[in-house]
Amino acid sequence: MQNELVTVTGGGGFIGGALVADLRSRGYSKIRAVDIKPLDEWYQKFPDVENLVLDLNLKENCHRAAQGAYQVFNLAANMGGMGFIEANKALCMLSVLINTHMLQASQSHGVKRYFYSSSACVYNGDKQRDPDNPGLKEEDAYPALAEDGYGWEKLFSERMCRHFREDYGLCTRVARFHNVYGPWGTWDGGREKAPAAICRKVIAAKLSFMYIDDCILGVRKIMDSDIEEPINLGSSEMVSVNQLVDIVEEIAGVKLKRVYDLDAPKGVMGRNSDNTLIKQYLGWEPGIPLRHGLEKTYAWIHDQYVARENGLAVVK
């Protein structure tokens, strides 16, 4: 398959860019990365990759993205951290156009395997009110009470993938991402996730999250597997926001005064991944400890922050 064309939608984003980098490192010679952002805003871009700036809400652009591809990894979506999700419900719901059109285009152009990146936001909110919950099983998505907007779009798109597999024979795979973080991720501007935001705040003061490497390895394993149902792809390590701050304080060598804004978007009270099913299927689960991943993430954001303070171009 390394000589076959692979399309990565959302290729200019955090996870998409990391996936493109991984495909290149494993010898894939024909890669098409697609994103709506201008090229100078892509997180990572490579000169030997076919980089296309396309709005995949439009059906004709999805056909352009899928044409000639053997595999499609659909990571494109309108999303961000909890603050962005809660303030942009309609925009998040419109991502349903992307997956619908990409499925239609993939079927039309004879794509062999199709990966869809779902989210832990599909899970029933009533099962996430206890910060000490034992971990979310795949079956906990039903009865449905998904995160309003973003979560409902993901849940609907999961079903769409299932029915394209059942009705049209398109080999679809679905993973529910749990709080992915790491270098090259958004760290400022309102769309960042909690680990990056806290790293930035600690850096500014001084001057259950899944690390990106686990995410990319899991995507590859799930895409190549026989797993047909949506499956968790996340860390089983439960951590509170206070524990997250503790770890970053230790890494930075500082102690912060903590002020809690209880009016800010909170999301669920507790969420981590029950990895029983992925271990059963693959004999593997994401295992990079939060402390290890945050050390690398903190170092990268620190360099970006210092560069920005010195007037240099940075990835936000």
Question: In sequence order, what are the residues at sequence separation of 6 or more whose Cβ sits closer than 8 angstroms to the Cβ of residue 228?
Answer: 162, 165, 172, 173
Marked catalytic residue, from 150, 211, 298, 305: 150
CA dihedral sign of residues 33, 36, 40, 42: negative
Give the span between the Cα atoms of 136 and 167, in whole angstroms. Answer: 29
Backbone angles phi, psi at 165, to 5 degrees: -70, -45
**Can you say how many angstroms the Cα of residue 31 is from the centroid of all Cα atoms in its chain?**
19
The conformation of residue 40, written as its DSSP 8-state character, comes to G
CB 240 within 8 A of CB 209: no
CB count within 10 Å of CB 166 equals: 11
Written as one string, the DSSP assignment of 65-92 is HHTT-SEEEE------SHHHHHH-HHHH
Record the tokens describing residue 268, joined without a space.
Answer: 């669920």
Written as six digits, the tokens of 30 are 């024909």
Both tokens of residue 108?
């039309």
Cα 24 to Cα 46: distance, rounded to the nearest angstrom:
9
How far apart CA 294 and CA 133 sit, in angstroms, is: 23
Q: Minimal CA–CA distance to 80: which of 119, 42, 45, 41?
A: 119
Asked whether the CA dihedral 107, 111, 113, 116 is positive or negative, the reply is negative
In the residue annotation, 150 being an active-site residue is answered as yes
- Which residues are designated catalytic? 150
